[in-house]
Amino acid sequence: MIQYPNGVKKINQPKLKQQLKKLAINSYKNRGMDFEKEINLTNQFYVETKRAVITKRPTPINVVKVDYQRGAKITHAYFEKQSTTDYNGIYRGKYLDFEAKSTQSNTALAIANITIHQRLHLQRVIDQGGIAFLLISFSKRDEVYALKAIDFLKFIEQESRQSLPYAWIKSKGMRIAIEFQPRIDYLAAIDEWFF
């Protein structure tokens, strides 16, 4: 489906395509893409079964140049970081807000993955009485954990570490079963914690 703008040569070599694909997969934007897809499938299931309405905020993009002569084609833009979390919505009448992170590490999640803006946003949601949490995937272990945002925020306030240890996440958080449908039933943790 890729359309090439005028003047850009079309790449036909399968090998080069493969390399570019690999590059894309390893690049910043695509890290944890599978995890994102699994969450989106889960949310779709929740909406269809009327269990909750939780959606992903689109990736913010800084649009620099638009060609209005070609049907508002964006010709120059950059990905931006979310200043809030990636997901929010409503569950059992309550406002719910979370950030999802995937790591290839088996031992820890780097705290820098959750930006200062996102931490502030999570704190604000808590202050307003909302449900705030993190969803963390240790992709190599094939394990997913929900972690209350309040526990995360306390940790970074009290500890001087640069990362959340796997063992700590395992003890503080709640493991989410990975199943066929819903794929990652994180609302099970929310039921236990908040209702």
Over the window 82 to 121, marking each residue x when it contacts a second copy by CB under 8 A and - when it does not, the resulting string is --x---xxxxxxxxxx-----------------------x
Does residue 24 touch a second copy according to CB under 8 A?
yes
Does residue 1 touch a second copy according to CB under 8 A?
yes
- How far is it, in rounded angstroms, from Cα 173 to Cα 78? 34
Q: Which residue has the tokens 């620099």?
A: 64
Does residue 12 touch a second copy according to CB under 8 A?
no
Cβ neighbours for 170, distance < 8 A, ≥ 6 positions apart:
145
- Which one of 16, 17, 18, 20 is in contact with a second copy (CB under 8 A)? 20
Q: Which residue has the tokens 């120059």?
A: 76
Over the window 55 to 84, marking each residue x when it contacts a second copy by CB under 8 A and - when it does not, the resulting string is x-xxxxx-xxxx-x--xxxxxxxxx----x
- How far is it, in rounded angstroms, from Cα 187 to Cα 164? 22
- Which one of 37, 124, 140, 141 is in contact with a second copy (CB under 8 A)? 124
Residue 106 contacts residue 138 (beta carbons within 8 Å): yes
User: Helix, strand or coil for residue 82?
Assistant: coil
Cβ neighbours for 81, distance < 8 A, ≥ 6 positions apart:
60, 115, 117
Give min distance, CB of 76 to a second copy, in A.
6
Residues interacting with a second copy, by CB under 8 A?
1-5, 7-8, 20, 23-24, 27-29, 47, 50, 52-53, 55, 57-61, 63-66, 68, 71-79, 84, 88-97, 121, 124-125, 127-130
